[in-house]
Amino acid sequence: MKKWTLLTGLMLIGVGSRPIWADAIGNNISSHLNQTALDALAKDIGSLMGGGSFHEGKALGFPLGIDIGVHGVGVELQDKDAILRDDDSRMGAGWLQAEIGLPAKINVIARGGKFEDAKMFGGGLRIGLFTPSAPLMPAVSVTALYDTFKHDYVDANTLTANAVISVDVPFIHPYLGFGWDRTDLDPTDRAFNAAPAGTPRGMDSSVSGYRGEIGVNISVIPFTYLSLGIGSANSKTLYHAGLGAKF
């Protein structure tokens, strides 16, 4: 069974029989270009884009609140995702995410990521609903994100909404979060051109799904954190690991 490793703190990559440079979408979409596979692929891409987007509920302060980190997210693939599962049953993506605190407990988020040959970019806002000043009190925030996924064979965009609660305990900060992802996916002309003759052109997919994640931030060194989380995305296991600095 494949094991996951955090490679140089940047992304989760499956270590197994599949070469790490292989691109499952490019390898397999031409032979699995059907509505069932596209819908399952869109759910998995939505999980990878929405996953790893939070690790605590406390909003950053203003004017010096900054959080910059690398986050790896891995998911168990949907059973009907023949496009990705033709290569493996789990896959991962890596994100670089930066967050800046603004007045009124509003944070701006910018992020960029990589999944095989695809590039991912996006961002959004986080709003602190409850930001306590005393320890052991829960902090709650909500986020809204819009991310794009660009690949030679697929274009996609995901709208994500998260709600997160966390508690500040010395050196260890547990968190619990829930998310919703809406993904619109379109195969490119290159995908249709590579498909067998008779494949209907114009197929696309619009799906939504849910995530839940529980985890912990370990802060032994001041202004740094290691995040470790596990959860469920569309009834499949989700993994999250991150490393960053917060001020």
User: Using one digit for the tens of pLDDT, what is the confidence trace for 171-180?
Assistant: 999 999 999 9
Please give the pLDDT value at position 15: 32
- The pLDDT tens digits for 23-57 are 999 999 999 999 999 999 999 999 999 999 999 99
Cα separation, 239 vs 100, in Å, equals: 25
**Taking the model in full, what pTM does it have?**
0.90
Average pLDDT, the chain: 91
Confidence check: pLDDT of 18 > 70:
no
Structural domains for the chain: 12-246 (2.40.160.20)
Confidence check: pLDDT of 147 > 50:
yes
**What residues form DSSP beta bridges with 243?**
70, 226
Confidence label for 89 from pLDDT (cuts 50, 70 and 90): very high
- Most distant CA pair in the chain, distance: 65
- The pLDDT tens digits for 55-79 are 999 999 998 899 999 999 999 999 9
Tokens coding 68: 């910059």
Q: Where are the beta strands (DSSP E) in the chain?
A: 3-7, 11-15, 66-76, 90-102, 106-115, 118-130, 138-150, 154-167, 172-187, 205-218, 224-233, 236-246
Please state whether the peptide bond connecting residue 63 to the residue before it is cis, i.e. omega within 30 degrees of 0. Answer: yes
Q: Give the torsion sign (CA, 152, 154, 157, 158).
A: negative
Q: Give the torsion sign (CA, 17, 19, 24, 26).
A: negative
